[in-house]
Structure 1
């Protein structure tokens, strides 16, 4: 496949600090406005707060998301591979894909949220081991979602023996994603297994640099880089009005101090006009899709401005 033509715009929703009814109401509204809706795979809230914030598990939440939407592409950015047997996860993915009518595009990562690993009884291995688990899992999942009738794989962490996956994907295939800014193994994983790569909370210059690494990894496998879709997640700090935008930026400066510039580089900030320009900068840096990352409570005026003003203006401004 090749990346979709034109700019794609999406929303990445952290399913925490909200009721399921509130999440469903938001998902339904987004389905009429954006191209992509994704959630994350955490067992505790992020950033960590000791498991004190209400939070819903990803597989069950994705099933609900698939059932209440009809248009947008759906994703998980990203499944934490050490949490689930990959063959079982492949079966869950197929069920969600059928619920969505073929709109599901799951992502996979090595995990990072140590407090939730420990609290739920998972070993938090060193990063190299977790990447080995990711590679083995993707070998199994890509095999089970592919055209072969059975998949056999024997690894250090995961194994399957002539496992079948019936039914298969709703439309015959399911695009797989990975995410992160790792210098070597993330690009290699994306180029080998995936149809898409995502990175959160970086500025356009850093995004371009990371994008070049993805291109190089594709080149090392003689893969056309245009066949790997690229996206970025931006923290949502938009203001619906100039006064609201100024207040939000000051809040970030007060909260982050010397790190404020780093935070705002990977965020959508300012007014709706500013946001359109920021989205264009990421498009110029190589992004096929730009997502905003939302966490409850949501500034409803800012979200309305994003969906009603920024999204159509950005689509018109960027080709």
Structure 2
């Protein structure tokens, strides 16, 4: 099994989050570090602080040297795919080739309503997502990109300089929708991330992904399957570790340990020691 951490940029400070990532960089058991792409907190006071995802991600890439970095996951509705492709290429350069490009269709009605950002109906949202991912791949891999979709159009478009990683930074697609999301994972992703209640919910979703890959002629083994495990500060750490172990037995490749809000670097050493027997 492999492990990662995820910090929540809500109700915390830049200095605190940076310190956790810098410390995690020193623990080899953590292969990557993630945070989210939201503008409001998801818990507690919705008017409280929440750091923006991609500006902090670029800064965290500069502050670290080994650990892979990613946003879990970027809402496609928030940024034009061409803008996001350029952001990804630049962040990959800043990190020296350590970016994980996490993307999803987006869902947060509270944020979109507050900011006047369109949140299309579900079908259109996923149509836009499919086009957006395809357009980003074109920009990240082709010298001159052209794309003529219903929602996304590129005309002799450039994305320079290119990312360090070739053909492009690995794409992580987040979500569990069996028809659209998992089909998109089978088409485009190098990693699939999902938040579920436990292995009993994850296992049938994995089979859906296998079926989509079979239809597309793709080896599902090319896709890292990752899940999130939340560490509850009010419960023993062993509970989260036991759940991680259960996911590993079910066939999950990577478990992302979600740290409590406002964590300090001190949480990492006991976590690393507890996970070591599973690695």
* TM-score using structure 1 length: 0.82
- Corresponding residue for residue 163 of structure 2: 169
- Corresponding residue for residue 277 of structure 2: 313
- Corresponding residue for residue 86 of structure 2: 91
List per-residue Cα deviations over 1:261-309 (Å, max 9, x = no partner).
Answer: xxxxxxxxx443x5443222111222110011124233877554213x2
Q: CA deviation at 1:48?
A: 7.4
Q: Equivalents in 1 of 2:50, 2:17: separation in Å? A: 11
Query: Is the contact made by 2:231 and 2:237 (CA closer than 8 Å) also made in structure 1?
Result: no
Q: Equivalents in 1 of 2:165, 2:74: separation in Å? A: 21
Count of residue pairs brought into register by the alignment: 276
Distance 1:285 1:98, change over 3 A: same
- Corresponding residue for residue 242 of structure 2: 277
Query: Is the contact made by 2:16 and 2:264 (CA closer than 8 Å) also made in structure 1?
Result: no
**Do residues 28 (structure 1) and 22 (structure 2) align?**
yes
List per-residue Cα deviations over 1:178-214 (Å, max 9, x = no partner).
Answer: 0111111011100111111000142011111111111
**Do residues 190 (structure 1) and 185 (structure 2) align?**
yes
Q: CA deviation at 1:171?
A: 2.9
Give the alignment partner of residue 202 of structure 2, picking from 186, 207, 215.
207
- Corresponding residue for residue 153 of structure 2: 159
Give the alignment partner of residue 56 of structure 1, picking from 51, 56, 61.
51
Q: Equivalents in 1 of 2:120, 2:259: separation in Å? A: 29
- Corresponding residue for residue 290 of structure 1: 255
Q: CA deviation at 1:49?
A: 4.4
Query: Is the contact made by 1:15 and 1:295 (CA closer than 8 Å) also made in structure 2?
Result: no
Q: What is the SS of the residue equivalent to 2:72?
A: strand
List per-residue Cα deviations over 1:50-77 (Å, max 9, x = no partner).
Answer: 4x11011111011111001111111111
Q: CA deviation at 1:216?
A: 1.0
Distance 1:96 1:280, change over 3 A: same
CA RMSD of aligned residues (A): 1.8
Q: CA deviation at 1:228?
A: 0.9
Tell which structure's C-alpha radius of gyration is larger. 1
Q: CA deviation at 1:153?
A: 1.1
Query: Is the contact made by 1:211 and 1:286 (CA closer than 8 Å) also made in structure 2?
Result: no
Q: CA deviation at 1:91?
A: 0.4
**Do residues 132 (structure 1) and 127 (structure 2) align?**
yes
Q: Equivalents in 1 of 2:45, 2:255: separation in Å? A: 28
Could you list the runs of 5+ residues in structure 2 that have no partner in the other structure?
none
Give the alignment partner of residue 115 of structure 1, picking from 110, 116, 126.
110
List per-residue Cα deviations over 1:212-243 (Å, max 9, x = no partner).
Answer: 111111111000110111100111126xxxxx
Give the alignment partner of residue 46 of structure 1, picking from 38, 42, 67.
42
Could you list the runs of 5+ residues in structure 1 that have no partner in the other structure?
1-6, 239-247, 250-269
Q: What is the SS of the residue equivalent to 1:102?
A: coil
Q: Equivalents in 2 of 1:295, 1:134: separation in Å? A: 30
Query: Is the contact made by 2:193 and 2:225 (CA closer than 8 Å) also made in structure 1?
Result: yes
Q: Equivalents in 2 of 1:198, 1:213: separation in Å? A: 14
Q: What is the SS of the residue equivalent to 1:74?
A: strand
- Corresponding residue for residue 136 of structure 2: 141
Give the alignment partner of residue 67 of structure 1, picking from 62, 75, 80.
62
